[in-house]
Chain A
């Protein structure tokens, strides 16, 4: 039971990281949004006396953060796991320069791909960059490790990586919170050429520094009590980190444990102690055999991925099954299978401005090189009009490649990406499209927000993270300045006109751009409900309106004389975008007037 006299609160891992940063006196935080990392900055931005900002992408966020650290400011930079790929270039050399103000980089990994394009394990990137890498197991760890991270960063002169996962970021557990510290803000940048100008002559000696630092960090890892060694049952010893600790600890409460909080450098001495004490060593971890490889490298005989899956998240059932297969649990856990129920995948919202673009592209049967954002959902039923999705910004390059190499293209190549994605990493792709004069069309879905991750501002949305107005990058001017002559601005709520313009852009010989402009129906403010309804009388049940994939429309259960489904509109969610009205050939959809609303 909880001691009521302690000040404990329930926090998400992400809230605890923000709190930990604040307790460490962090002044500056930068990020690009991405599930499951986004809330860290959103929470941090609500604290007084700090500076928090969104950057256009993760590389810029990291670079701005490095600048802040160089000025002597304690700095936090956050991103999702794939964001670290984008930021890898500066990170790999920042590890050489080291920090002035303490620096923690948060990587939020997403095992099980709840909302990501892959499930890479970024503990490996921490090791690759040779920076101390923490792997918290609950919200308390998130707070403690973040806070400690700043001391480690400054003491060892290194950026620190805090790697969390979805089940840590988006799980609430009890946290003992402490006092906020006065934010640490640097005075000015002190020049130090041999440290900050990483040309070969200077970088070489910094590499030597990094290797020496690693040895120091190795000692720290063995001494630090956050790498918890608990010697109990001598039969079985567990090496574990992250959320996996919680599962195995619940299942084997009496085993001996090495709970690794700092996964790199690996606490080798502690692991050897565990191995000397226990007859058998099991490594339980999510995704890659990171700890297992580390343990094996120092000659510890152990098993891990032999019993516990490498793909997806772990849970109590998977870990219990692994224990059964390893002969540790006698009873095979039974996993109950549920009833097959029709899936309920996420869909474009009612009133989503992207819908019209994909209706048009589907009608034009274009090869659509897609990107990452809400619009990726158009790949699925019923729109099914997006044909690739790799990583942010890839759409344009992919389309350029296809456009310049295909000998017999079947369909016109069209790249489609959101405004936030365009600013993140589409601009350079566009340069290549102009440079090669690729015969293709780029559609920028300008909804004035980063919608997919919950409505964050970006350099063309007109606001900043701290709630101030900000200058708006003008997408049309930007595109024209690069030398695109054919630029069309369309309103996607006017389907016929939008269709006409998209068609004319596609037919244009050479590179063309369509900016589909219409604010998001959800962010920053939910679109007003201005509902429509289906008139049973002229409705023929042709089903065209259902094909636009609006969640406000469904089969009512009523049938026409010919036995076809008559659709119904859910008046509580219809925004009145009128796209269904525009596709209806029988004039069967009308707005609900006030009187009718009473009877509906």
Chain B
């Protein structure tokens, strides 16, 4: 049916946002669903507020640990300007799931003309070949009483377009988050999964 049986998910954000944790959970889900799985990321500078990307690929057999240009089935973006930076990587008919959160880097504060994009999500809609799905994950997380839940909410939204059984997701999340937060994480996952597609 599909000449390329590999699913490519690119996860992007800013150091400290939980990009790596999210891609770890995704890998584990793919693995449990029975796929050969690879992921690649560059750490090092990630803790210093730099831009962070993680490539996750799964399928029958995966060779390259990196996603080819413009071939992401899904792009999961934790930050709006980072979504804009990478949204051209989404393939035709793919998905950009983007948190509406904005993190303005110090470099935009100087007087040297570097500007944070005015409306990054609108711009994504112009550039991105796939569907753009913005989510106010921060707001949902606050409603649920814990800002750290943005991660799981975004994964919930991502899960909808990856043909992996929901129970695999739920089981994996339950195993990978701290025990005390399992319930609320599963609620967060559900909220993300059912978040409206605009």
Residues in A lying within 8 Å of B, measured CB to CB: 1-2, 4, 10, 35-36, 114-115, 138, 166-167, 170-174, 243, 245-247, 249-250, 315-317, 320, 333-339, 341-349, 374, 377, 381-382, 453-454, 522, 543, 546-547, 549-551, 553-555, 565, 567, 572
Contact = CB atoms under 8 A, between A and B. Distances in A.
Given A316-B64, A336-B70, A1 B31 contact: no
Contacts of B41: 170-171
B49 A347 contact: yes
Interface stretch (B82-90, B169-177, B181-189): B82-90
26 contacts: A1-B36, A2-B35, A115-B42, A115-B45, A171-B41, A173-B65, A246-B63, A246-B64, A247-B66, A250-B64, A316-B66, A316-B69, A320-B68, A333-B69, A336-B70, A338-B89, A339-B84, A339-B123, A341-B117, A342-B107, A344-B51, A382-B110, A543-B111, A546-B110, A547-B110, A553-B109
A36 B44 contact: yes
B70 A334 contact: yes
Nearest to B129: A336
B48 A349 contact: yes
A346 B49 contact: yes
A247 B109 contact: no
B87 A342 contact: no
Contacts of A35: 43-44
Interface in B2-37: 14-15, 27-28, 31, 34-37
A315 B68 contact: yes
A259 to B, nearest CB: 11
Interface in B60-84: 60, 62-70, 81-82, 84
A37 to B, nearest CB: 11
Contacts of B38: 138, 171-173
B115 interface: yes
Given A346-B45, A554-B105, 4 more contacts: A167-B40, A171-B41, A339-B84, A344-B51
B104 to A, nearest CB: 5
Nearest to A340: B85
A454 B44 CA distance: 7
B36 A551 contact: no
A550 B39 CA distance: 32
The 8 lowest CB-CB distance pairs between A and B, nearest first, are A346-B48, A115-B44, A346-B50, A250-B63, A171-B40, A346-B45, A316-B68, A171-B65
A166 B111 CA distance: 36
B42 A10 contact: no
Contacts of B164: none
B84 to A, nearest CB: 5
Contacts of B31: 2, 10, 174
B106 A382 contact: yes
A265 to B, nearest CB: 27
A502 B140 CA distance: 49
A267 B17 CA distance: 46
A597 to B, nearest CB: 15
B194 interface: no
A341 B109 contact: no
A165 to B, nearest CB: 11
Contacts of A382: 106, 110
B37 A553 contact: no
B66 A167 contact: yes
A171 B107 contact: no
> Counting chain A CB atoms within 10 Å of each CB, which of B41, B44, B117 scores highest?
B44
B114 A342 contact: yes
A95 to B, nearest CB: 31
A464 B57 CA distance: 37
A348 B44 CA distance: 13
Contact of B48 (A317, A347, A554): A347
B144 interface: no
B197 interface: no
B27 A172 contact: yes
A344 B107 contact: yes
B106 A549 contact: yes
B47 interface: yes
A284 to B, nearest CB: 12
A344 B109 contact: no
Contacts of A341: 81-82, 84-85, 117, 120
